[in-house]
Structure 1
Amino acid sequence: MENSGRVVVITGAAGGIGKALLDAFHRDGDTIAAVDLAGTNVADLANALDARHAGFHCDVSSEAEIIALFAEIEARFGRIDALVNNAALGPTMAATVDTDVTSFRKALRINLLGPFVLAREAARRMTGGGVIVNIASLAGVLGNPKRNAYAASKAGLISVTRSLACEWAGRGIRVSAVAPGYVRTPMAAELERTGKTNLDLVRRRVPMGRMARPDEIASAARFLASPAARYVTGSILSVDGGWLSFNQPGDAHPPVSGTPETELAKPAVERRERVVLVTGGAKGIGEALARRFAVSGDTIVIADKDAEGAALVARSLGPKHLSHALDIASEEAVLDLFATIKQRFGRLDILVNNAAIADGFLPALDQMSADLEKVLDVNVTGAFLCAREAVRLMGDAGGVILNLGSINTFLPFAPRHAYGASKAAIDILTRCMAAELGPAGIRTATIAPGYIRTPGVAALEAAGKIDTKAIRRRIPLGDMGRPEDIAEAAYFLASDEASYINGSILYVDGGWTSFGNAGDASEIAEEELQGAAE
């Protein structure tokens, strides 16, 4: 994920998450323009990295200062390739009747208007494309008492993320956001010190039993800003340990004594060969998933109804990999698969539930319950069976379960009732498991692809079921994705870099789910459409 040579602007660089962002992008070889308020040690922090970097002072609530800042950065570095909008004013925790309008407007200026102006000025200088990552918050997704201005500003930032993603996609600029839950930062420590929050209660509310470290937020931003996320725009990635996935009275995690070590410092993790099961791995996205994990040294089990295709992929990867014929809708077949994995490897570290079928595009009046049940058996029940058996094989060692959703998770298509229902079910299964399994050290996440150039999509096009030209115009980035785009997202989510992502959904859709306007989301030249069809 190295991006050597880019110029990256990071605001709020002297804070807890800001420092972690500096470290993450510095490790990638980027040149950093670190930005924070006058009086902070941001210049010293930048210089401590090495002589290429520089620190700048700016009050992001001032449009004039932002304009001057970018002129200074451009004069120093000549260009801007990426912006991480991290600077923010924390919640005041004041009751509604005690909040004066001046304080309310200040939060909006710093947390919403400032990032907008920063993005605008950065985009003006991204002549060859670029990427913007906004650091939002779960406060912009879920309501909390006494956080009115902060929550409103972060919800606004999430909306702006999506609208800018759609507007600037044609210029090659991707815009996404990270929505952190509770993070162990100086801001959080101050809230605890002043009695405005109880961090012990916070930990009990998180399925993973701890708050995030700043480096876990920085890792998510780093991925979204990287070429590996080239088809991700308009997406909001929650990094919350499963907070959003827990929806019942009581504790999500047993009480924790003291501060967990993994909340204070990133644990030393020795890279080991993982055993990865990919269902539906014989072609398309499944094959790309298998190849991505294999190239990094993992051992892959490729399970597919197409036994010959699965075997071909396994052989091409090398002798240590395994193929297995699987009818995922059959409990007996699933049990046989996992018995084989246990006998051969003794464990499973990662499950990627990719196997799925499309429905028949029949109008609802012509559909029988059997038509829907067939899709649900494969796409939902089969995925559940594999997840259940994976949990048994992961045991105390923990692991990761990734489920393949769809843009239909969020935006169902008519008449694809069964498929949309199955993908909505997959997302909620992911969340239920995140809430249940987080305390056991098992993380889950959903990857929601948009239109991807796969054999399945090609078959739908050949059958006249989809209009490729219309689809490309509906995608802000102007094209379908590649199977490798989904594989890169899966590889990140299964990695230690995603250690606080649990129950989240990541849309890899070229901006499809961010576009809410009438008409086309992109303009595609006729000759380009002709070239794509050939």
Structure 2
Amino acid sequence: MPLDFDALAGVPPYPPAGKAAIVTGGSSGIGRSTALALHRAGWSVCITARRAEALEETLRLMRAQPGSADGSAQALKATSFAGDITSEETVLALFKHAYEQLGQIDLVFCNAGVSTAAVPLFDLPLADWNKAVSTNLTATFLCAREAFRYMSPERGGKGGRIIVNGSISAAVPRPHSAPYTASKHGCTGLTKSLALDGRAHNIAVSQIDIGNASSDMTERMRTGPGVMQADGSLRQEPVMDREHAAREVVHIAEMPLSVNVQFVTIQATKMPSMIGRG
């Protein structure tokens, strides 16, 4: 039986009993898979996204899992909040709803994100730029700021963890991806700043960079002509099951707050990424 080094060192267990998480972008893809994985691991979960019907399907899947809410106070809870988290008012309402429904907030997975069409910079609409920055970066900031407010011991919290869904593209961009790349590069800077500021408040902040996980956003990578490479050619790329990314999020989430995985990359083994792209 492996030794529990945290117990030997007197480190309090984390997450605490009744652990609760918010997952943004929980209506599909990585967000849905992560919400389900957290719920299976014993977390109560609040999911959010714009599409109410898709959120309901995620809720149905969570509630069908063993241990989900059955009317007892001890049962795991699953709840949703439909809205646009690029709006400050929506984020404030989301966290209020999650806290009222779950009783605490121990984890926030800032997962919601969008990609934009591969358009040469000459023809790039400002609307595409604003869409990427507002969803990928501004919404992440708004959720992280609110997480600090609920988690900080100075405000009655117990500490907690924020995990940001970054991107390999922040370091190694694809052609014609200025809005997406810049927004994800901003997330990396935000993660570093939050991790530094969070130390004083018992808040750990991590970033997971996910490469080619199966989702609606990556469907075009494995079908038709594929996606543009650095040399201008089109090529299909391998895609991994998004469940692997979800399990990695759970792995980070369940570490004690005395430990932080600052950055982690998980990707399809043969995708052209850090080696072979750019």
Q: TM-score, normalised by structure 2?
A: 0.83
User: 1:506 aligns to what?
Assistant: 264
CA contact (8 A) 2:91 2:143 kept: yes
State which of 439, 443, 450 in structure 1 corresponds to 2:204. 443
Return closer, same or farther for 1:393/1:498 CA change in 2, 3 Å cut-off.
closer
1:470 corresponds to 2:235: yes
Letter in 1 for 2:235: A
Deviations 1:345-380 (A, max 9, x none): 332110001100101211100013332111100000
Indicate conservation of the 8 Å contact 2:225/2:236, yes or no. no
- 2:275 aligned with 1:515: yes
**Structure 1 stretches (4+) deviating beyond 6 angstroms?**
none
- Counterpart CA distance in 2 for 1:313 and 1:415 is 33
What amino acid maps onto 1:510 in structure 2?
A
CA deviation after TM superposition for structure 1 residue 332, in Å: 1.5
Matched, 1:482 2:266: no
- SS across alignment from 1:501: coil
Work out whether 1:274 is the aligned partner of 2:13: no
Q: Which residues in structure 2 correspond to 1:306-321 (within 5 Å)?
A: 306-318=51-63, 319=69, 320-321=77-78
Separation in structure 2 between the aligned mates of residue 471 and residue 215 of structure 1, nearest angstrom: 45
In structure 2, relative to structure 1, the CA distance for the partners of 1:281 and 1:372 (3 Å cut) is same
Equivalent residue for 2:2? 27
Q: Distance in 1 between matches of 2:95 and 2:83?
A: 11
1:510 positional shift: 3.5
Q: Is the 8 A contact 2:21 2:108 kept in 1?
A: yes
Specify the SS of the correspondent of 1:357.
Answer: coil
Question: Given the alignment of the two structures, is residue 343 of structure 1 paired with residue 103 of structure 2, yes or no?
Answer: no
The verdict on how the C-alpha distance between 1:360 and 1:297 changes in structure 2, with shifts beyond 3 A counting, is: same
* Larger RCO, structure (CA 8 Å, separation 6 or more): 2
* Aligned-partner SS, 2:264: strand
Correspondences of 1:195-234 after superposition (within 5 Å) = none
Counterpart among 385, 395, 398 of residue 152 in structure 2: 395
Query: 5+ unaligned residues in a row in structure 1: which ranges?
Result: 1-25, 29-213, 217-261, 473-478, 519-534
Q: What is the RMSD of the two structures over their aligned residues, measured on CA atoms?
A: 2.7
Alpha-carbon distance in 2 for matches of 1:298, 1:443? 18
- Please identify the structure whose Cα radius of gyration is greater: 1
User: 1:331 deviation in Å?
Assistant: 1.3
The answer to whether the 8 A contact 1:492-1:498 is kept is no
Query: Does the aligned pair in 2 maintain the 1:461–1:467 contact within 8 Å?
Result: no
More helix by share: 1
Q: Describe the shift of the 1:391–1:510 C-alpha distance in structure 2 as closer, same or farther (beyond 3 A).
A: same
Query: Is 1:434 aligned with 2:195?
Result: yes
Is contact 1:410–1:513 with CA below 8 Å preserved after alignment?
Answer: no
In the TM superposition, 1:210-359 aligns within 5 A as 265-269=9-13, 272-318=17-63, 319=69, 320-359=77-116
Structure 1 range deviating more: 390-399 or 335-344: 335-344
Could you tell me how far apart the structure 1 residues matched to 2:241 and 2:257 are?
Answer: 22
Amino acid at match of 1:507: T
Query: Are residues 367 and 461 of structure 1, via their aligned partners in 2, closer, same or farther at CA, if it must alter by over 3 Å?
Result: farther
Three-state SS of the structure 2 residue aligned to 1:446 is strand
Q: Percent identity?
A: 27
In structure 2, the residue matched to 1:379 is 136
Amino acid at match of 2:214: R
Q: Structure 1 residues 498 and 389, CA, compared in 2 at 3 Å: closer, same or farther?
A: closer
CA drift of 1:434 comes to 0.5
Counterpart contact for 2:214–2:240, Cα < 8 Å: yes
Tell me the residue number matched to 1:38: none
Q: What is the Cα deviation at residue 316 of structure 1?
A: 2.2
Q: Check the 8 A contact 2:33/2:246 in 1, yes or no.
A: yes
CA contact (8 A) 1:430 1:446 kept: yes
Q: What is the SS of the residue equivalent to 1:443?
A: strand
Cα-to-partner distance string for 1:240-292 (whole Å, 9 max, x where unaligned): xxxxxxxxxxxxxxxxxxxxxx9x91414275121110000111111110011
Bigger mean CA deviation after superposition, 453-462 or 289-298: 453-462
Q: Give CA deviations for 1:202-231 in whole Å, capped at 9, x if unaligned.
A: xxxxxxxxxxxx958xxxxxxxxxxxxxxx
CA contact (8 A) 1:409 1:427 kept: yes
CA contact (8 A) 1:407 1:450 kept: yes
For 1:354 and 1:500, the matched residues in 2 are separated by: 21
